[in-house]
């Protein structure tokens, strides 16, 4: 077994000693069967963990939900896990860039308020009586009508 793989699996084993979900255990078993060195190098990153990988896969699955339910193939979930560990971590070092990131986060969190829209006031239209309504007498309300009354 490669040294990088061994160290990465030890790190994941230490995470598993805590209370973990069955899905995280399945992810751990799948990671143990992989042969990709880049994947294990990503696991060794101190900012990445099994729990965060599980949360990443969950956030990806939420995009597929319809009516609160999503059916996703396990191969796609494992692909998301591999993508999580392989993608680089973006670290912001510039103060200006940190401010921009914070501003973008606050903009995303605040719901957009609708602008004041001038509401159209409904005007009562003058009702024009047609010939058909003028000639027919109004039926008394509350009485039972028969088909012959309407002729």
In a domain, 139, yes or no: no
pLDDT digits (tens, 9 = 90+) for 55-91: 999 999 999 888 888 889 989 999 999 999 998 876 6
CA pseudo-torsion sign 59, 61, 65, 69: negative
In a domain, 30, yes or no: yes
Residue 70 sits in which domain range? 3-104
In a domain, 149, yes or no: no
In a domain, 144, yes or no: no
Calculate mean pLDDT across residues 9-26: 87
For residue 67, what pLDDT is reported? 87
Please write down the HEC assignment for all residues of 62-124.
Answer: HCCCECCECCCCHHHHHHHHHHHHHCCCCCCCCHHHHHHHHHHHHHHHCCCCCCCCCCCCCCC
pLDDT digits (tens, 9 = 90+) for 110-137: 445 445 555 556 666 555 555 555 555 5
The domain total for the chain is: 1
In a domain, 133, yes or no: no
Q: How many CB atoms are closer than 10 A to CB 67?
A: 5
């Amino acid at each position: 077994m490669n040294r990088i793989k061994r160290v990465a699996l030890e790190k994941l084993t230490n995470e598993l000693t805590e209370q973990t979900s069955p899905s995280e255990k399945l992810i751990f078993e799948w990671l143990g069967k992989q042969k990709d060195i880049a994947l294990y190098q990503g696991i060794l990153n101190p900012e990445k963990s099994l729990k965060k990988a599980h949360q990443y896969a969950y956030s990806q699955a939420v995009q597929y939900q319809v009516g609160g339910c999503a059916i996703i193939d396990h191969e796609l979930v494992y692909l998301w896990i591999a993508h999580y560990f392989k993608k680089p971590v973006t670290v912001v070092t510039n103060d200006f860039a940190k401010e921009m990131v914070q501003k973008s986060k606050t903009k995303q969190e605040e719901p957009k308020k609708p602008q004041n829209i001038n509401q159209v006031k409904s005007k009562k239209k003058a009702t024009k009586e047609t010939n058909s309504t003028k000639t027919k007498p109004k039926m008394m309300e509350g009485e039972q009508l028969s088909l012959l009354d309407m002729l």
